[in-house]
């Protein structure tokens, strides 16, 4: 019988119970149950919605160091060959949050049994995949009382080998915004198009126009993306559609570019409204602030990993990935880094299977790094 590392076993249990944002009831219960098994004399635990704050008290604290792990899953039907597949139909931990949680529990457990000078705050954050848990969690009374002096987080990276991290000073992840556009015209019989305002035609035209925003309205030396991932419209093949809906995402490397892109989208949508004689509505849904790593802290972390561990450090490029941890970094100095987990399938893929050896490596790395920071 296979003998599992204890936090690999925990990851597998968490993998079975993925839940959507602010619905992580079983996940929260699992985490709280584990925390109850630890010695309690140096722990303070508070819940916030489906999230959890855990303060590990130090022996002579002068500062509070934060560590954040996200806990929600995705609406993806799993296609792995795991014996521990998701038990929740249509849901999967396809972004590695099961690993994020198990790593955080491992580091937390280390400090419960190995006291350091400073206090540590472990934040188990719901709804990273949407609608966004970091911003309201940051505004909570608990966070106001327990606001860290610095904060750290990681994200698994299937493209890098185990025992490798990738990070950079400054911008790591883009500004992101959801995009929902609803069009309402006049439906009717397919044989009489002249009596209708066809929203399928309007939607198709708008999709093509939206691509010109990137090619003609964004500085070529800047970067931005508009992706329309879903179109819905109409009811049956012989009725002209009265309604259509576009669903997509916007990604930019600067907040200023996000503003310009949205202005141009709104102008194009207004043009479709006039040209196709229809009503339109734009909803930007969930918006995430860029992940901007503190320069000095990130450089010190990279030097620490290079000089005091056997983990390989890669200085990576910025990515168009979105992460609401950016809201925390906007208010609290710190950084996020990529953790190599070596999988042929990428994030948000139904066959994502991270190498679980990364869990033990990450726990050891973070325990050593946070020990250094908590004894300075």
Residues annotated as catalytic are: 70, 129
d(CA 126, CA 130): 9
Q: Which helix (H) or strand (E) holds 356?
A: none
Q: What is the 3-state secondary structure (H, E, C) of 54-121?
A: EEECCCCCCCEEEEEEECCCECCCCCCCCCCCCCCCCCECCCCHHHHHHHHHHHHHHHHHCCCCCEEE
What three-state secondary structure class fits 18? coil
Q: Are 45 and 59 in contact (CB under 8 A)?
A: no
d(CA 99, CA 105): 10
Beta bridge pairs of residue 312: 164
Q: Are 340 and 165 in contact (CB under 8 A)?
A: yes
Structure tokens of 79?
């296609």
Closest by Cα among 187, 183, 238 to 210: 183
Handedness of CA 134, 65, 155, 222 (dihedral sign): positive
- Residue 12, classified by CB atoms within 10 Å of its CB into exposed (0-12), middle (13-18) or buried (19+), is middle
Structure tokens of 186?
């006049």
d(CA 339, CA 155): 6
Residue given tokens 């079983």 in the structure block? 26
Closest by Cα among 134, 143, 151, 124 to 10: 124
């Amino acid at each position: 019988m296979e003998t599992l590392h204890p936090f690999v076993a925990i990851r597998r249990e968490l993998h079975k119970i993925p839940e959507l944002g602010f619905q992580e009831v079983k996940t929260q219960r699992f985490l709280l149950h584990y925390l109850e098994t630890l010695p309690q004399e140096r722990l303070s635990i508070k819940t916030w919605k489906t999230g959890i704050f855990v303060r590990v008290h130090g022996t002579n604290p002068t500062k509070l160091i934060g560590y954040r792990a996200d806990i929600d899953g995705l609406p993806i039907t799993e296609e792995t060959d795991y014996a521990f597949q998701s038990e929740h139909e249509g849901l999967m931990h396809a972004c590695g949050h099961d690993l994020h949680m198990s790593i955080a529990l491992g580091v937390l457990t280390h400090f419960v049994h190995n006291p350091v000078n400073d206090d540590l705050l472990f934040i188990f954050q719901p709804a990273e995949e949407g609608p966004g848990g970091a911003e309201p969690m940051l505004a909570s009374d608990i966070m106001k009382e327990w606001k860290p002096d610095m904060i750290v987080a990681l994200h698994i990276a299937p493209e890098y080998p185990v025992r490798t991290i990738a990070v950079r000073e400054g911008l790591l992840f883009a500004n992101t915004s959801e995009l929902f556009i609803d069009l309402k015209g006049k439906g009717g019989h397919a044989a009489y198009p002249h009596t209708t305002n066809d929203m399928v035609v309007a939607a198709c035209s708008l999709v093509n126009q939206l691509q010109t925003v990137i090619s003609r309205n964004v500085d070529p030396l800047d970067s931005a993306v508009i992706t329309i991932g879903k179109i819905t419209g109409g009811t049956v093949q012989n009725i002209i559609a009265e309604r259509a809906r576009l669903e997509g995402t916007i990604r930019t490397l600067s907040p200023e570019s996000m503003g310009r892109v949205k202005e141009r989208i709104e102008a194009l949508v207004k043009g479709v409204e006039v040209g196709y004689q229809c009503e339109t509505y734009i909803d930007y849904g969930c918006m995430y602030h860029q992940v901007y790593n503190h320069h000095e802290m990130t450089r010190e972390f990279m030097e620490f990993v290079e000089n005091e561990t056997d983990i390989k450090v890669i200085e990576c490029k910025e990515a168009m990935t979105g992460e609401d941890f950016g809201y925390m970094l906007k208010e609290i100095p710190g950084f996020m880094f990529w953790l190599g987990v070596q999988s042929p399938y990428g994030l948000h893929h139904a066959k994502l299977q991270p190498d679980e050896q990364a869990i033990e490596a990450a726990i050891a790395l973070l325990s050593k790094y946070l020990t250094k920071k908590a004894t300075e």
